[in-house]
């Protein structure tokens, strides 16, 4: 992989130095599909890969995905907590799929799955529509560890009527996928691929080709470095926002500590008061 050495690039008051760039390249080599920042690029503008992965996880070999967005912002209610979906897909009959990767168990709390599912409901029922028009939704958490510790590949979670023992049939589906699962099945091979850092070690061509592009093709590497650069800026903005929320720091102090320019801090403050 040949990457030209780039000069420092000005971003606000920050300079993306050659050292930072080399650190990004090293980090890129170690990223896996189960890492959130790599996953968002893996599925970006890649319906065939999203479709392939969802077919395996949902065990629907004839599933057809017609749309797929990465980092989909969901907030339809004023004052409600917003979420950003890793990958949000729609199939041929309008069913919705939220595909999330979680490195830690705390990110896969059942209440979070419930909230993701409810936000998709709000997003997909408009004024004047009947409740029965809600599309089926699938909230899928791929978790690095076996969240339930039972050695299963997938843990499907469905509502049931406790009195009758029958399915509630409300169209809500939650699946927890065991990222530790291995085996000769398609899901076992897929989880192996989700944990690979190298394309050559992967089982599936679609996963390997996209990984190879993002890690070895100069254009793909540039895309990934831009994403990591943006994430670095976002983390600094989070610091500045916490300081603004504290209400005890001068704007100049926030700029100095966060690394953002004074104009950027003023902009963040203005956005908070809108």
The model's pLDDT over 76-113, given as tens digits with 9 standing for 90+, comes to 665 677 788 889 999 999 999 999 998 877 788 999 99
CA 179 – CA 25 distance, rounded (Å): 25
pLDDT at 2 over 70: no
pLDDT category, 36, cuts 50, 70, 90? Answer: confident
Lowest mean pLDDT among 6-15, 113-122, 148-157, 186-195: 6-15
200-228, pLDDT tens digit by residue? 999 999 999 999 999 999 999 998 888 87
Indicate the pTM of the whole model. Answer: 0.81
Q: Which residues of 194-208 are buried (b: 16+ CB within 10 A; e: fewer)?
A: bbbbebeebebebbb
What pLDDT was estimated at residue 148?
96
Element (H, E) at 211: helix 205-216
- Whether 45 contacts 55, CB under 8 Å: no
- Whether 127 contacts 163, CB under 8 Å: no
45-63, pLDDT tens digit by residue? 999 999 999 999 999 999 9
- Whether 56 contacts 190, CB under 8 Å: yes
Q: Is the dihedral of CA 102, 103, 105, 107 positive or negative?
A: negative
CA 40 – CA 60 distance, rounded (Å): 23
């Amino acid at each position: 992989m040949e990457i030209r050495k780039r000069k420092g690039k000005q971003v606000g008051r920050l300079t993306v130095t050659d050292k930072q760039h080399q650190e990004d390249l090293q980090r890129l080599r170690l990223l896996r599909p189960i890492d959130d920042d790599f996953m968002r690029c893996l599925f970006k503008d890649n319906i065939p890969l999203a479709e392939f992965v969802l077919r395996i996880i949902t065990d629907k070999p004839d599933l057809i995905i017609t749309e797929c967005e990465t980092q989909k912002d969901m907030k339809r209610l004023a004052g409600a907590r917003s979420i950003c979906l890793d990958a949000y897909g729609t199939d041929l009959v309008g069913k919705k799929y939220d595909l999330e990767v979680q490195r830690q168990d705390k990110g896969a709390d059942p209440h979070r799955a419930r909230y993701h599912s409810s936000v998709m409901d709000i997003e997909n029922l408009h004024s004047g529509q009947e409740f029965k028009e809600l599309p089926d939704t699938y909230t899928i958490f791929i978790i690095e560890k076996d969240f339930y510790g039972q050695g299963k590949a997938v843990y499907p979670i469905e509502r049931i009527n406790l009195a009758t023992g029958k399915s509630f049939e409300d169209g809500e589906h939650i699946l927890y996928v065991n990222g530790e699962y291995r085996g000769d099945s398609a899901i076992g091979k897929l989880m192996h691929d989700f944990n690979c850092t190298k394309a050559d070690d992967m089982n599936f061509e679609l996963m390997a080709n996209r990984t190879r592009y993002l890690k070895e093709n100069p254009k793909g590497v540039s895309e990934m470095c831009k994403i990591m650069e943006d994430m670095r800026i976002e983390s600094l903005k989070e610091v500045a926002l916490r300081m603004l929320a504290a209400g005890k720091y001068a704007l100049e102090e926030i700029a100095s500590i966060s690394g953002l320019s004074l104009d950027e801090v003023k902009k963040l403050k203005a956005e908070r008061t809108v």
